[in-house]
Structure 1
């Protein structure tokens, strides 16, 4: 396909109907058995979007893969793998991080989350541009809460860097060697700075259309710093369904998350209309994303949008449509 190829026009049209007018720039992929379709509006099918917290799903795959390699175990601690010293966070296990039950907050107080949020609202600024060392400094001062379910960005960021520590590499190199190269994901990458963005990188916008700075940065990449094209996300989804992706055990639920919902290593597993859907969504300053699979039916959907308005409902709806077409 050429950069301007919109892909499957019927799929683009149906997705546009589900998304509505607030999403002028989007890309979508569906997988049904061996059939894979991709489409886009406002950008080429090889343009890359921020997938935001779907990055946690990738980190979950790398966690399960590192367990398979016997480099780590669920009982391994952050202090075993990162230079944290004798602080509370050092005793947190990787297994608890992978299921958001570590007691860590979403963002440490020392990272001034309110100030970051205000800067994002007012100026569209990137709130997550720190280095790995700055992230570790935040972790050394963090207070642990009770080990209950609590969605944690800093938890997954530290999990990714701990996996990298066990492998003796930087996190970006773990992603390259264990996911992008084996699966042929040519345009999936983790830019540390704006200068590392591809020419085909899409600019994200707020719900009102204001441009947002790209969320680049080394520190938080395992939690939300991945960018990818819809072609890559289609390949990833197909690999999740045919179990050829490293660490596919990350999709298996291991802990409760809420009513009719469980969690694997980062991946949410929910009962929807009698079917089991494994999924993750993402949201950054100017992007929203959703990836879901019905493993029993062999179907999957990815939606990437360059507008900060939820795409979760359209994602679930489109997945239900293609599943009904395959499994009446």
Structure 2
């Protein structure tokens, strides 16, 4: 394993949990006394694709908007986005926040699978206009629990539209700027990447295209360093982050005892109620989890597309 930086004890433990399949990784633990970080194969300031933890960010922004009375749970997408009289226009924001929109995981799944699995390309490089066009032609199914990247893309852009801004600017204004999370951004194109941005690899070690896209941002396009994601975890535990009520479980999600708030999942794990979200892109995996009762949290980021969930649960202090 590569030479580590940060806390030696945390690095040794995390390397033991993640193993040789994660040559570029960073981890953090959070307690009431502060944040501890460690990593290897990258600089401490390097930013990773955090994948669907972006949905957790969108969930925070949704609850923040509700609490500020900018939107309501029953506000429809059509009130905020130009969706004409399409069926998708009638979907309510609250339903999306709990993955009950009836929308599929992604639009045009066969085309995207071809681009990603066969060619190794980014399957989510759509513009906002392309996303809206796909939404106008979509036919929602029953409003049962169904994880949807598509729906969270629409939710995030609808929240931004409600205050007359873009999704990246909304993230910067309501969360990143207030918490000092300087590494957070959502690149629309590969040329937008920063000097400290990592490129990931698949489980066979092959380089993967970065996942950028204007439409993608609210569902999987935010990038972060491990320190900034740990600072978010600390702010959530301290209830300093706007929209932290998104963590509160309000409905059952599936049949395995998992509950959902606004994107965030809560489940019992070895006698503890853990609130968490994970993420995965073509070359990255991520996990953020919180034991809100104990006031502890953990973050795992890897620039390899091999799951880190088990390590995340085990790293939770």
TM-score class normalised by the smaller sequence: over 0.9
**CA offsets per residue over residues 197-254 of structure 1, 9 Å max, x none?**
1111111000000001110010011000000001111110100100000100000011
Cα distance, 1:274 vs structure 2: 1.7
The unaligned stretches of length 5 or more in structure 1 are: 323-328
**CA offsets per residue over residues 282-306 of structure 1, 9 Å max, x none?**
0000000000000000000000000
Residue of structure 1 in register with 2:91 after alignment: 92
The match for 2:292 among 290, 295, 304 is 295
Task: Please state if 1:306 is matched with 2:303.
Answer: yes
Secondary structure of 1:6's match? strand
Residue of structure 2 in register with 1:14 after alignment: 13
Task: Please state if 1:268 is matched with 2:232.
Answer: no
Residue of structure 2 in register with 1:194 after alignment: 190
Secondary structure of 1:130's match? coil
Distance 2:233 2:42 in 1: 21
Distance 1:49 1:257 in 2: 28
Whether the 8 Å CA contact 1:5–1:45 is kept in 2: the answer is no
Secondary structure of 1:265's match? coil
Residue of structure 2 in register with 1:120 after alignment: 116
Distance 2:30 2:208 in 1: 31
Residue of structure 1 in register with 2:246 after alignment: 250
Task: Please state if 1:142 is matched with 2:138.
Answer: yes
Whether the 8 Å CA contact 1:102–1:155 is kept in 2: the answer is yes
Distance 2:17 2:122 in 1: 29
Q: What pairs up with 1:36-115 in 2 under 5 angstroms?
A: 36-108=35-107, 112-115=108-111
The unaligned stretches of length 5 or more in structure 2 are: none
Distance 2:194 2:233 in 1: 22
Distance 1:13 1:69 in 2: 44
- Which one is further off, 155-164 or 31-40? 31-40
Residue of structure 2 in register with 1:179 after alignment: 175
Distance 1:261 1:283 in 2: 20
Cα distance, 1:272 vs structure 2: 1.2
Cα distance, 1:9 vs structure 2: 2.0
4+ aligned runs moved over 4 Å, structure 1: none
Distance 1:26 1:232 in 2: 15
Distance 1:224 1:209 in 2: 22
Distance 2:138 2:116 in 1: 23
Q: What number of residue pairs does the alignment pair up?
A: 314
**CA offsets per residue over residues 39-97 of structure 1, 9 Å max, x none?**
11100110000000000000000000001110001000000100000010000000000
- What TM-score results when the alignment is normalised by the length of structure 2? 0.97
Distance 1:12 1:203 in 2: 21
Residue of structure 1 in register with 2:315 after alignment: 318
Secondary structure of 2:300's match? strand
Residue of structure 2 in register with 1:226 after alignment: 222
